[in-house]
Amino acid sequence: MTKLLLLGAQGQVGQELQQTLAPLGEVVALDRAQLDLTQEGDLREFLHSQAPAVVVNAAAYTAVDRAEQEPELAEAVNARVPQILAEESQTLGAYLIHISTDYVFDGQKNSPYLETDPTAPLGVYGESKLAGERAILKTGAEALILRTAWVYGVYGQGNFVKTMLRLGKERRQLKVVVDQVGSPTWAKDIASALARLIPQRATGIYHFTNSGAASWYDFATAIFAEARALGAVLEVKEVLPIPTSAYPTPARRPAYSVLSWEKTAAALGAYPPHWRESLRQMLVEAKAEGLF
């Protein structure tokens, strides 16, 4: 039976991957508590002891603002770890899957970013993720780098949907940024896409998000509308659109980071679901899990 090693198993995408990868073989799923990926010797030794046929790296340092104060840690997790995984995968003859981000772009484009478009990250997080991509490609390992964006899910730590549901219960008025545009993407859809790409052994850079685009303001108002339709009792009465300049953060974000998923859709033989449709399905699951 094919052995698949899943790193970052307790994250948003990782928990969904535990389910979608199961039909492909034996899944060895690890999180931070079981293996510190920044301990290079331990990581290399573990990879050799397991000798997986497929390595799926869903682990990442994702604290975009904190990364500005912790560049060494962001670099260690997002750049050095992927390099080690690629080197060891090549030695073992394993196939590597690595998840990357829309933050490798500067957001100055006004049409969906292609896999071949020039990269120009605006902050430490994006720089560290881009360094990870480049390190993988430099090794020549058989690897798929999947860039995605605006990820949310039922599982894992806080995300925009969970944050809005919490604030929507606490506050009557919310202010949400309106001049950053991207594609909200359900972690389960990412995991499903990867499970379908792995048997194809696709290599190189691919983009995957849900289809459609929205601002954070659009996303927030949709969350409240869909949650209320499912019976959520929310305090929020007014959502005000504000410019990025009115909500300063330590890290700059790309103003436009919609990714073109045409290449991935061609490989999968299907378009990704629209973000609003997936949001609706996620909220059904969130309600079942008691999140509201």
Indicate which residues carry an active-site annotation: 125
Six token digits for residue 6: 């899943």
Burial code of 92-104, b = ≥16 C-beta within 10 A, e = fewer? Answer: bebbbbbbbbbbb
Length of the chain: 292
d(C-alpha 156, C-alpha 203), whole Å: 28
Output DSSP code: residue 79. Answer: I
Q: Which of 211, 227, 111 is CA-nearest to residue 163?
A: 227
Q: Which of 209, 156, 158 is CA-nearest to residue 12?
A: 156
Tokens 């799926």 found at: 56
H or E segment at 6?
strand 3-7
Contact 240, 176 (CB under 8 A): yes
